[in-house]
A and B are shown apart, each in its own frame.
Chain A
Amino acid sequence: MERLEIMGIFGSKEFPGTGSFPHGIHPPGNKFYSAGAQVEVITVPDKVVLPLLQHIGAPCEPVVKPRQTVACGEMVGEGQAFVSASLHTPVAGKVKKIGVVTLPNGRHLPAIEIKTEGEQQPCNELWEEMTSTDWSLSTIPDYSPDEIARLIHAAGIVGLGGAAFPTHVKVMPNDKRLIDSLLVNGCECEPYLTCDYRLMKEAPHAIVAGALLAGRAVSAKEIFICIEDNKPEAIEALELATRNTVVQVAVVRTKYPQGSEKQLVKAVLNLDVPLGGLPSDVGVALSNVGTMAAVARAVIKKGPLTHRIVSVTGGGIVTPKNIFTPIGISMGELIDFCGGLTEDAARIIAGGPMMGFAFSDLTTPVTKGTSGITILTHAETASGEETACVRCGRCVEACPMNLVPTRLAMAARYKNTALARQYNINACFECGSCTYVCPANIKLVQLIRTGKAQVAAAMKR
């Protein structure tokens, strides 16, 4: 913090927002487990399993057959619908079968299994390319917006922050919705996770190149890379990498959920995304830092999205690490790579502890949206018996959407869809802040999720 002030970053805040949003919570960050761990490259696995739906939207269609041989980076699934993304194999080998997997979020999906065979492209070459400082920024004006969008589409890029929205849809040039600002999200406000932090520190130039390309695709007038103030080294790295470019670094307050779209738009641009609307309604495009690095590679090096960084962290893992890994590798292999689970490991989560999904099947593959594996010990997990709501209003004060979570939960409990809608249940984006603060240990988000399903069912009738 002190160093930042000396550097004058806070003094030079040049964005219209306050750097924060109303409400929100301050869970312990616990980034120390893996923040210091330099990205390590894992060796090519024996096989990968590639689910045909790793993004929001329609699944992609397989374009390979069992027993067919594929080369590194070859397309194995094609996203034919507009909101869909193609899939590429990170390894060379033979297609074994098209089976079914269950992802941590509970979805059963068809998946292509590829057995590694023959000559491989070592992962560390890719990573070295990522961390290189030469991303030929001067060539960026040579790409037309359409071409950038087309290359992003061809590379099968989706948001790597977790939500996994197909990126080409976001950057598609559109006459109706003009984009003024591109916010590149490097907040990583989920506790424990550090994959974005390490990327910002180790590959800032790729991020800047991607941001310039995406900004060009959407014709943004300004580009901000947004980072929470608890990551001074990432801020410093990006300050250096953005020098002499139009990209600016916006330092925002450390707070959960600072990295959520609407909250970030509020904090940096002081704009309110309309209820039920998208950031594009107020002329903003948002994308994660990892996604920007993938964009740079897709456009400048013509490489598809086949690898990503995954943080393996928490008190329940022997050696927490950040791993550059092929998509489709099993979660178990990453855990093994980190020395395995500790004796008191209690829960394995895909993603971070606030919004991630707990799972127990370690053959589950890493997907494009897997930002981390958080392994909590018994002491770290939320526990304690649920008691009655004392109507203390702490959930109200925590809710970043300014809702009344206790009311939403009660409406769900008593299946009162009218009340749920009166209290705007659909504005909840399930960040979990309310549950985190509740002194009575009520599983508010879980109830609200049920309530949303009830509302949807009632609307259909």
Chain B
Amino acid sequence: MSNLSETAEKVAQGPTLNVAPSPHVADTSFTTRRMMTDVLIGLTPLVAMSVFMFRWLAVQQIAVCVVACLASEAVFVSMRGKKITLNDCSAAVTGLILALSLPATAPWYVGCLASVVAMGIGKIIFGGLGMNIFNPAMVGRAFVMIAFASLMGAGAYENPASAIDAISQATPLTALKGSGISTSIFNLFFGFTNGSLGETSALAALIGGIFLCIRRTASWEIPVGVIACVALLAGLADLSAGANGHLLLHHLFGGALLFGAFFIATDPVSSPLTPRGKFIFGAGVGAFIMIIRLFSGYPEGVMFAILLMNAVTPLINRWTIPRPMGDA
């Protein structure tokens, strides 16, 4: 051992060093958990607006969904014999988004059931975080929308007996579709209207959504695709209906469009991988939204549009395999 260097001798004696494959450094500022907390932060303007509009009902709905989502994730994950992963915050995000997509008046058991279905069928059945094909919150919402049609339909948003002003009116899109009454763009933009908890304020959705895009937690290609496509199709509808620009803005600011575009469609797990794929996905969501809004019996179509495009995502991924650098 005489010609070992001093350090070599020290290292030979001590256990301090470790060996691992490259790269040996990582970007620790961006983790799965940070992405999820970013979404929670991005949603705060919408939460604030919903509490302002629907008071106690909003608080209650959010609490029910978040708690139910956390609990069902814990239960389902341990049933599969895996380590509980609540600290990645993804269940909390699902719960919050689900709550914001429900009407304020939906009874507690609706939120609860939606949460159980969201986590159980929307996520854990596929193998947990990262493996699901559909957006879990939208799976939960779709379930309760079908199971409790009357509690979730257009009527759910109108309760003349409600103590809260907003709930005495129809949602803007229902009013437009059903009776041709159009809400003022001012009210739509700031959110002084009826609707599901998170959809009333276009402004709040924009603030939170732009925050997410700047943080690169959400890929901007998706909301841009959605908004561009909706603007195009709504613009065409607007042209055929008198071209006053009102209808166009109504479609852009009304309903869950911006909430969906920035917070739901951007779910990384159920959207495509490449920037080009993401844009196609967004445009597809936008197209389905407008088809449903214009031609179906439903006034709103964000949820179905996103679920439909989730199903197309694997195909989009295959279409958009990028060409490697130097590929002729």
Give me the interface of A with B, judged by CB distance under 8 Å: 21-22, 25, 27-28, 46-47, 191, 262, 266, 272-275, 277, 330, 332-333, 335-336, 340-341, 345-349, 353-363, 374, 376, 380-384, 387-394, 396-397, 400-404, 406-407, 422-424, 427, 430, 432, 435-441, 443, 445-446, 449
A332-B4, A358-B19, A396-B273 known; A391-B268 Cβ under 8 A: yes
B78 at the interface (CB under 8 A from A): no
29 pairs from A and B in contact (CB 8 Å cutoff): A274-B327, A330-B5, A330-B8, A332-B7, A333-B5, A345-B16, A345-B17, A346-B18, A347-B17, A347-B20, A353-B23, A358-B24, A360-B11, A381-B24, A382-B25, A384-B31, A388-B128, A390-B269, A392-B268, A393-B268, A393-B273, A396-B274, A396-B275, A402-B325, A404-B321, A422-B321, A430-B22, A441-B26, A441-B31
Residues of B within 8 A of A391 (CB): 130, 268-269, 271, 273
State whether the Cβ of B174 lies closer than 8 Å to any Cβ in chain A.
no
Structural contact, B5 and A332, CB atoms closer than 8 A: yes
Q: Given A389-B130, A439-B32, do A347 and B18 touch, yes or no (CB 8 Å)?
A: yes
Which of A345, A359, A439 sits near B35, CB closer than 8 Å?
A439
> What is the size, in residues, of chain B's interface with A at 8 Å between Cβ atoms?
51
For B207-231 the 0/1 string (1 means CB < 8 A from A) is 0000000001001000000000000
* Across-interface contacts of A441 in B (CB, < 8 A): 26, 31
- Determine whether the beta carbon of B17 is less than 8 Å from that of A390: no
Cβ B35 vs Cβ A432 within 8 A: no
Report yes or no: B324 in contact with A401, Cβ–Cβ below 8 A: yes
- In whole angstroms, what is the CA distance A400 to B32 when docked? 23
Q: Is the interface of B mostly helix, strand, loop or mixed?
A: loop
Q: Are A274 and B328 in contact (CB under 8 A)?
A: yes
Q: Which residues of B are found within 8 Å of A382, using beta-carbon distances? A: 20, 23-26, 28
B25 engages A392 (CB within 8 Å) = no
Contact in complex: A445, B326 (CB < 8 Å): no
Interface residue B30 (Cβ < 8 Å from any Cβ of A): yes
Q: Are B27 and A27 in contact (CB under 8 A)?
A: yes
| Residue from B16, B27, B35, B219 whose CB has the most chain A CB atoms within 10 Å | B27
Query: What are the 5 A-B residue pairs with the smallest beta carbon separation, nearest first?
Result: A332-B5, A388-B130, A432-B23, A382-B26, A362-B8
* Distance in Å: Cβ of B261 to nearest Cβ of chain A: 17
Q: How far apart sit A358 and B23, CA to CA, in the bound complex (Å)? A: 10
Whole-angstrom CA separation of A8 from B25 in the bound complex: 35
For the complex formed, measure the closest distance between the CB of A447 and the CB atoms of chain B, giving whole angstroms.
10
Report the separation of the CA atoms of residues A422 and B4 in the bound assembly, to the nearest whole angstrom.
49
Contacts of A346 in B (CB 8 A): 16-18
- Residue numbers of B with Cβ under 8 A of A are 3-8, 10-11, 16-28, 30-32, 34-35, 85, 88, 128-131, 216, 219, 268-269, 271-275, 278, 317, 321-328
Residues on B with beta carbons closer than 8 Å to the beta carbon of A403: 322, 324
Complex Cα gap A424–B271 (Å): 22
Report the separation of the CA atoms of residues A332 and B4 in the bound assembly, to the nearest whole angstrom: 8
Give A297 Cβ to nearest chain B Cβ, in Å.
28
Tell whether, in the assembled complex, residue B23 and residue A445 are in contact, meaning their CB atoms are under 8 Å apart. Answer: yes
**Contact A443 B21, beta carbon cutoff 8 Å:** yes
**Contact present for A277 and B326 (CB under 8 Å):** yes
> Is B5 within 8 A of A376, CB to CB?
no
A262 — which chain B residues lie within 8 A by C-beta? Answer: 325-326
- Least CB distance from A438 to B in Å reads 8
CB pair A362–B325 under 8 Å, yes or no, is no
Q: Are A390 and B25 in contact (CB under 8 A)?
A: no
Min distance, Cβ A135 to any Cβ of chain B, angstroms: 35
Q: Across the interface, do A340 and B10 meet the contact criterion of CB distance under 8 Å?
A: yes
A247 CB, nearest partner CB in chain B, Å:
27
Select from chain B the residue with minimum beta-carbon distance to A422.
B321
Chain A residue contacts of B129, Cβ below 8 A: 387-388, 390
User: Across the two chains, which residue of chain A brings its CB closest to B25?
Assistant: A353
CB neighbours of B268 from chain A (8 A): 390-393
Given contacts A336-B6, A387-B129, A407-B273, contact A437 B18 (CB under 8 A): no
B21 A353 Cβ-Cβ under 8 A: no
Nearest CB on A from B172, distance (A): 34
Residues in A neighbouring B26, C-beta threshold 8 A: 382-384, 435-436, 438, 441
B323: which A residues are within 8 A, CB to CB? 402
A347 to B16, CA, bound (A): 8
Residues of A within 8 A of B30 (CB): 394, 437, 439
B8 touches A332 (CB 8 A): yes
Question: Closest CB of chain B to A112's CB: distance in Å?
Answer: 16
CA distance A346 to B17 in the complex (A): 5
Cβ contact within 8 Å between B130 and A46: no
Chain B proximity of A65: nearest CB distance (Å): 22
Complex Cα distance, B17 from A358, in Å, reads: 10
- Closest residue on chain A to residue B313 by CB atoms: A391
> Which of A335, A388, A394 gathers the greatest number of chain B CB atoms within 10 Å?
A388
Is B322 in contact with A396, judged by CB distance below 8 angstroms? yes
Contacts A340-B7, A362-B11, A401-B325: A390 and B35 contacting too (C-beta < 8 A)?
yes
- Closest-CB distance, A420 to chain B (whole angstroms): 12
CB distance from A449 to the nearest CB of B (A): 8
A335 touches B7 (CB 8 A): yes
B23 nearest CB neighbor, chain A only: A432
- Which A residues touch B128, using CB under 8 A? 388
- A436/B25 contact (C-beta < 8 A), A332-B4, A340-B7, A390-B35 known: yes
Which of these, B16, B22, B325, contacts A22 with CB under 8 Å? B325
B303 to chain A, nearest CB (A): 21
Taken together as a complex, chains A and B put the C-alpha atoms of A183 and B19 apart, in Å, by 35
A410 to B217, CA, bound (A): 22
* A439 to B39 CA separation, bound complex (whole angstroms): 15
Closest to B327 in A: A275
A246 to B219, CA, bound (A): 46
* Contact of A393 (CB < 8 Å), options: B27, B31, B219, B324: B219
The answer to whether B23 and A436 touch across the interface, beta carbons within 8 angstroms, is: yes
Option from B20, B25, B35, B275 in Cβ contact (under 8 Å) with A380: B25
Q: Which of A21, A345, A349 contacts B24 (CB 8 A)?
A: A349
A430 to B274, CA, bound (A): 20
Verify B24–A275 contact, CB threshold 8 A: no
Chain B residues, CB < 8 A from A404: 273-274, 321-322
Task: Tell me which residues across on chain A come within 8 A of B11, comparing CB atoms.
Answer: 332, 341, 360, 362
| Distance A396 CA – B274 CA, assembled complex (angstroms) | 6
Contacts of A435 in B (CB 8 A): 23, 26
B322 touches A274 (CB 8 A): no
B282 to chain A, nearest CB (A): 13
